[in-house]
Chain A
Amino acid sequence: MSVHASWYLTLAAVLFSIGVVGLLVRRNVIVMFMCVELMLNAANLTFVTFARALDDVGGQVAVFFVLVVAAAEVVVGLGIIVAIYRRRVGATADDAHILKG
């Protein structure tokens, strides 16, 4: 018998929390992006765990879509970072303060 689902869910919770803290603490935009990826992966782990616990394909299909959305998000996000970089040197989130209204 495999490891109980609650262990996987707990691990996913830990990964998600580390991602949240990293997103709030780090200033480098690229590292913040990596933390977002971390949170997405924690959610993926949750999906797969529920797919196994409920014996349902839907969870794994959801991971499939999350992967696509993550890829699209990374492409657009890195494009934005490159565009910001072209105007000013510095990739910290504080360097984009001119965006405030």
Chain B
Amino acid sequence: MTPGAPALLAAATIPDALTFAVAAVICVAGALGVVLMRNPVHAALSLVMTLFGIAVLFVEENAEFLAAIQVIVYTGAIVVLFLFVIMLLGVDQKERVIADVFRGQRLVAVGIGLLVLAEVVLFSRTRWVTGARSVTGRLEGPGSNVAKLGRAVFTAYLVPFEVTSALLVLAVVGAVVLARRPSRTEPRWRSEPRPGPETGTPAGDGSAGGEAAGEAPAAGDAGDPRKEPEEVGSP
């Protein structure tokens, strides 16, 4: 049904084929980096690499607007959000792998991955274009990519577009609810042993103040002698 692979690649012009090859290598290398890197920060940076390669492929496929959005939204917002959470939580330590949940989990995972790959490749190589052409509108022809996309979004896809706005509002509300500090009445079990430490805190403060006062003369030699009497006087 389909011609051989070398013939397909040979049909492309040299710059197109070269661009595709380089971007594909970048994508796959980044994807492997996401899976194989131990440090989550490195994994996030590998993800940036993959997303950028995909943006290049978008340009190659005449989807200029989506390429710009890919760079702005994905690498500009989503990956930064990932990095923000990684840094906020301090997750960037090594992943501690206690044990597989069941024996040979990794092997099974790789096997499933190969199965998915074989399945999708099989479908993509044999039945790759089915369906009607140009149902919602032509992609080629005169006019810019952005104009066609905008026209489609605001005419044929208006209802999904509005639903999308509802989804965004829901996501914002959900994020606020999830990330909110728990209300003060909720963790009652946690507040029970609090009187013990609280009675202990003045002594702790006093000792800490003593330490600070002891340290202050040594630091006072370097500078700021004015601060010293205040700290001694406060406890």
Q: Are B137 and A56 in contact (CB under 8 A)?
A: yes
Residues of B within 8 A of A16 (CB): 116-117, 120
Query: C-beta contact mask, A85-101 vs B, less than 8 Å → 1, else 0?
Result: 11000111010000000
Q: Report whether over half of chain B's contact residues are helix, strand or loop; otherwise say mixed.
A: helix
Please give me the residue from chain B that is nearest to A50 by CB atom.
Answer: B129
Query: Once the chains bind, are A31 and B40 in contact (CB under 8 Å)?
Result: yes
Chain B residues with CB under 8 Å of A60's CB are: 63, 65-66, 139, 145, 149, 152
Check A24/B112 contact, CB under 8 A, given A48-B63, A61-B152: yes
Ordered by A's residue number, 13 sampled pairs between the chains whose C-beta atoms are within 8 Å are A1-B16, A3-B16, A5-B129, A7-B20, A9-B128, A13-B117, A56-B136, A57-B136, A57-B138, A57-B139, A57-B152, A58-B156, A82-B85
Minimum Cβ distance to chain A for residue B28 (Å): 6
Nearest-CB distance from B26 to chain A (Å)?
11
With a cutoff of 8 Å between Cβ atoms, the chain A residues found around residue B168 in the complex are: 68, 71-72
Q: How large is the interface on A (under 10, 10 to 19, 20 to 34, 35 or more residues)?
A: 35 or more
* Residue among B58, B96, B120 having the largest count of chain A Cβ atoms under 10 Å: B120
A33 to B89, CA, bound (A): 15
CB of B45, distance to nearest CB on chain A (Å): 10
Q: Which of A1-37 contact B (CB under 8 A)?
A: 1-22, 24-28, 30-31, 33-35, 37
**A-B CB proximity, top 5 nearest:** A9-B124, A79-B178, A24-B109, A21-B113, A72-B171
Tell me if B192 is interfacial: C-beta within 8 Å of chain A. no
Tell which of A15, A35, A61, A63 has the most Cβ of chain B within 10 Å.
A61
Chain A interface residues (CB < 8 Å from chain B): 1-22, 24-28, 30-31, 33-35, 37-38, 41, 44-45, 48-58, 60-61, 63-65, 67-76, 78-83, 85-86, 90-92, 94
Q: Which of B32, B47, B98, B120 contacts A34 (CB 8 A)?
A: B47
Q: Could you tell me which residues of chain B, from 151 to 203, have a CB within 8 Å of some CB in chain A?
A: 151-153, 156-157, 160, 164, 167-168, 170-172, 174-175, 177-179, 182
Task: Tell me the bound Cα distance from A22 to B34 in angstroms.
Answer: 8
Q: Given A2-B60, A26-B95, A65-B164, list of 11 further CB < 8 A pairs?
A: A17-B113, A18-B113, A28-B40, A37-B47, A37-B78, A52-B139, A57-B139, A61-B149, A74-B78, A75-B171, A91-B89
- Residue of chain B at shortest CB distance from A74: B78
Chain B residues with CB under 8 Å of A25's CB are 35, 105-106, 109-110
What separation, in Å, do the CA atoms of A81 and B62 have in the docked complex? 37
In the bound complex, residues from chain B placing their C-beta under 8 Å from that of A75 are: 81, 171-172, 174-175
Chain B 92-115 interface 0/1 with A at a Cβ cutoff of 8 Å (1 = within): 000111100100011011101110
